Structure 1
């Protein structure tokens, strides 16, 4: 089974449309969205409606959670007063633009999706979260201490944990086995479709293949494919510049941060 997983579109309709074009070429069996449909651009309704139209199983991101409740907070960890002020403009505009129907959809998105595979005589648990299983806006960066990341996955009973929120893709393999028996767990950050922050301005998503050879005993049986795709960045950046959103968000798109 080939699964496409994507996250953090952030109201970037040109990026989402390019993502769908790319996925349609790849013989994918199922698609999941890990949240943050809205914020930072002018198309929160169009993005939400594209997801709804395709009936893609989707969980709430922290921005979706805030907008769903008509809140002035998005749960974002802004570091400076300037970032906080810019963020306030973004959430204010998003709250103005979002339709009642789409706000209700965002409000009722689930926090997690768990998919259990029965492979031969072995179970494999795939857990989809936005930030972490513990908190919707917890940042799990690549340099997270191994002991901490492993504890989070063990407590959540996740053999494969996919998440977003940091907008920086990575894959880490951890061994939680004991008494000489291996049990490999995989932490996979999907990156971002519509607001990359890893200095690569292309959109990013993950293809995960699960088959009869996939096993927690085999470290190399999970090999996520990180797919980068081009999209019309200038269209998305110009839309920001033509709105009251801060122009720095347009430059972030151009620079991949």
Structure 2
């Protein structure tokens, strides 16, 4: 089975349109969205409408959670005073332009989705979260201590955990050696961002998870991930920011992938 996962569109309609054109060429069997449909650009309603029109199972991102409740707090971790001030402009602008129907949809999004597979009579639990199983806005960066990451996954009962929020893709295989049975390997997968990458690559990103009939937690090679990057019209998205009241810094971040 080939499953596509995407996240962190952040109201970037040109990126979302390009994502759908790309993923439709990949022969996937299912598709899921891990949230943050809105914020930082001018098309939150259009992005929400496209996700709804396609009937894509979607969880709430921290920005979706805030806007769904008309909050002035997006749950974002800004590092500088300038970032905080820019963030205030973004969430105020998004709250102003999001329509009632689209806001109500954001409010209904689930916090998590769990996919349970029964392969060769052995269960495989795939957990979809936005930040982490503990908090919608927790950042799980690639350098997270292995014991900490394992503990988070074990407590959540996740063999495979997919998440976004940091906008920086990676795949870590975490080994848990069982003294009285087969080894148990877990996969932590950050799926990156469709509409606001922060890894120095301006192209949009998503992942395709491969699960076959022989997939097993006892073999770390039996679960594989393809990291997909695709081109989109970055300038259209950046100029839309510049033509709005949103900070021009958001346009530059789109151009630089930062």
Provide TM-score, normalisation by structure 1.
0.99
Does residue 1:256 correspond to 2:249, yes or no?
no
Q: 1:49-198 alignment to 2 at 5 Å? A: 49-179=49-179, 181-198=182-199
Query: What's the CA shift for 1:128?
Result: 0.1
Aligned residue in 1 for 2:237: 236
1:78-125 Cα distance to aligned partner (Å, 9 max, x none): 011110000000000100110100000001100000000011121100
> Quick one: distance in 2 between partners of 1:7 and 1:199?
17
Q: 1:200-211 alignment to 2 at 5 Å? A: 200-211=201-212
Does residue 1:216 correspond to 2:202, yes or no?
no
1:41-93 Cα distance to aligned partner (Å, 9 max, x none): 00000000000000000000000000000000000000111100000000001
Query: What's the CA shift for 1:177?
Result: 3.0
Runs of 5+ consecutive residues of structure 2 not aligned to the other structure:
none
> Quick one: distance in 2 between partners of 1:214 and 1:178?
18
Aligned residue in 2 for 1:13: 13
Structure 1 SS opposite 2:228? strand
Aligned length: 257
Structure 1 SS opposite 2:174? strand
Instruction: Please list every run of at least 4 consecutive aligned residues from structure 1 whose deviation after the TM superposition is greater than 2 angstroms.
Output: none
Structure 2 SS opposite 1:223? strand
> Quick one: distance in 2 between partners of 1:141 and 1:56?
26
> Quick one: distance in 2 between partners of 1:178 and 1:220?
18
> Quick one: distance in 1 between partners of 2:189 and 2:71?
30
> Quick one: distance in 1 between partners of 2:214 and 2:111?
30
Runs of 5+ consecutive residues of structure 1 not aligned to the other structure:
none
Provide TM-score, normalisation by structure 2.
0.99
